[in-house]
Amino acid sequence: MGTDITEINPKSLARFRRENLGFVFQDFNLLDTLTISENIALALAINKVPAGSVEPRILDIAGKLNISDILNKYPYQVSGGQKQRCACARAIINNPKLLLADEPTGALDSHSSQMLLSTIQSINEQLRATILMVTHDAFTASYASRILFLKDGEIFMELR
């Protein structure tokens, strides 16, 4: 059925994470010494994507997330919302089976939030990827097909 990750050796677990998971962190986790494009490309390099397909994939995802104009800038030169969209691009560029997102729209304006959520939704629909997202925002939660409410580490309500 699935993969029991508790039974995987460390080397195989690292490979499983690279090939199946995408992470969007609340604090971006971008490398300040790399350009926005290089930060996104890092995810492709780790997965050994052929060099010839790196730039087209970056340009495609950058267009979807409206960050094409900042690809040659460094993280310290762009806004918090642009950093978050870059972090999301890096997380989804390898088409993960599971996307883990911690407040992915927290630093975004409403227009950017809607663009990002639409992209995440299309990943869910087109690639059949599972999205596990933490949010305190009702608009963001409205994109989910299933919502779990937690209190003190326990599920106290579920909406479908």
Where does 5-159 sit in CATH, by number? 3.40.50.300
Q: Where are the alpha helices (DSSP H) in 47-79?
A: 51-64
pTM for this one?
Answer: 0.83
Residue spans of the domains in the chain: they are: 5-159
Dump pLDDT digits (tens) for 35-55.
999 999 999 999 999 999 999
Cα–Cα distance, 82 to 28 (Å, whole number): 10
Q: What is the dihedral of CA 86, 94, 24, 98, to 10 degrees?
A: 160
Cα–Cα distance, 44 to 57 (Å, whole number): 9
pLDDT per residue, tens digit, the chain (160 aa), is 477 888 889 988 988 888 899 999 888 899 999 999 999 999 999 999 999 999 999 999 999 888 999 999 999 999 988 998 899 899 999 989 999 999 888 878 888 888 888 888 887 888 788 999 999 988 899 989 899 999 999 999 999 8
